[in-house]
Amino acid sequence: MTDQDPTPSVTADARGRVAELHEIRASAHAGPSAKATEAQRAKGKLTARERIDLLLDPGSFREMEPLRRHRATGFGLEAKKPYTDGVITGWGTVHGRTVFVYAHDFRIFGGALGEAHAQKIHKIMDKAIAAGAPLVSLNDGAGARIQEGVSALAGYGGIFQRNTRASGVIPQISVMLGPCAGGAAYSPALTDFVFMVRETSQMFITGPDVVKAVTGEDITQNGLGGADVHAGTSGVSHFVYDDEETCLEEVRYLLSMLPQNNRENPPSTESEDPVERRSETLLDLVPADGNRPYDMRAVIEEIVDDGEFLEVHERWATNIICALTRLDGEVVGIVANQPQSLAGVLDIEASEKAARFVQMCDAFNIPIVTLLDVPGFLPGVDQEHGGIIRHGAKLLYAYCNATVPRISIVLRKAYGGAYIVMDSQSIGADLTYAWPTNEIAVMGAEGAANVIFRRQIAAAEDPEAMRQKMVKEYKAELMHPYYAAERGLVDDVIDPTETREVLIRSLAMLRTKHADLPSRKHGNPPQ
């Protein structure tokens, strides 16, 4: 059976019809032609069905509407009506739990979206929302099917509307395995996580040809919207990998740490890492001198189960770390300043990155642990004019709005507004701890002394000696490690080596926490 011969024969007996059914199914499963499959592989890409097989547990996929065809006419479409209409939809399991999926088949119309194609996606999205299970989209399409005109564009509108309705209800994951241009790029942007593969996946609103025509800038597809660009510059992509196999395996790993929906908790596992395991290494990892950098990732590895965590947006806004991990087998989200990058300051991008992560954790019942070593917000004209007030408020709003268990630990510096924003007790953290190396203050001692004692310093015979004396006095009075604890702003100052046990015991106590927000249609977060 071919695209040009769409009408099946009619046989009289049941056996003949069943045989015909299997023939039609085999045709739909095989795709348009061996040549089209070869062309797909020549680009270094797998077929849609091969991708689904890698994503889902073996033998678990159940396809919906494999025999769907478009009804469009004109421009030669009436003579070409392939089965599936260029998108494969259905459900299966990942680690034994139900997951819905749709995958563009680039071999058919370049994966372009037409009316029937869109209706298949709408249906599977509706099923995912109704069943309360994650939705994974495997994107490899050339945008709207031009031959179908506005009907194709309306199909995108239906997808966007469902993306928005599903937001915070079920996990939505977009895996970019080919081109995604124009309005089509907004669906991944509405989902919780975006995965990309180097060299083969690109995302942009207007392509290189349009950019060159309008601005005169000459740029390649990968230079404009490739995986590395979106992972490190724009922040559109959360994860990037070198090949599809690794990418899809990591999607499976991420799904293992997410609940099915917002009414469930993330899946627990048995951990062989002892709850009471002490870590003497932490005493050497974090220098007491607040001006010396260190790698916060090493601190996280020491605390969490078996040193394993999945970092989100690893290459974007590197001055803050957002990661999913486990403590005693229970999933937690970690937000931590990274002193190795910009000294761990908060800036526009770090605030946006952490705010979205906090909102995701709160939506899907994932407790949040915040590790503070923050000297403040990044000063500068660019930051102020870029709206650091507005963007910093996003992180503040996200924390204040979160009802999941929240624990913060001050490792070293926690200065000014950044200390408040990074889940301090005053904005609703359930428990706040500090290491004996903590310095919680309005600003650093040097800056504070210059402001408070400027007259004494200016009038002194030796201004520098006086300044050093005042810095020492300020530290002794207002910045000693127990100042915040004495005032109830920190629940306890803990031994760093016991951090893991303290967190696990505290999270176990908070597991049954229940908190309600005021009745409202929705908040109006800063944009």
Q: How is 117-149 classified by DSSP, letter by letter?
A: HHHHHHHHHHHHHHHT--EEEEE---SB-GGGT
Query: 418 an active-site residue?
Result: yes
CA distance 324 to 326: 7
Give me the residue label for tokens 């870590």.
279
Query: 213 an active-site residue?
Result: no
Query: 207 an active-site residue?
Result: no
Give the three-state DSSP class for 203: strand
Indicate the residue type of 75. F
Query: 141 an active-site residue?
Result: no
Helix (H) or strand (E) holding 54: helix 48-55
CB 507 within 8 A of CB 501: no
| Nearest Cα residue to 386 out of 352, 339, 415, 420 | 352
Catalytic residue among 110, 158, 182, 207: 182
Q: How is 313-342 classified by DSSP, letter by letter?
A: STTSSTTEEEEEEEETTEEEEEEEE-TTTG
User: Beta strands 62-64 and 87-94: pairing type?
Assistant: antiparallel
Helix (H) or strand (E) holding 98: strand 97-104
CA distance 297 to 311: 9
Catalytic residue among 183, 329, 386, 428: 183
Catalytic residue among 118, 142, 184, 418: 418
Residue numbers annotated as active site: 182-183, 417-418
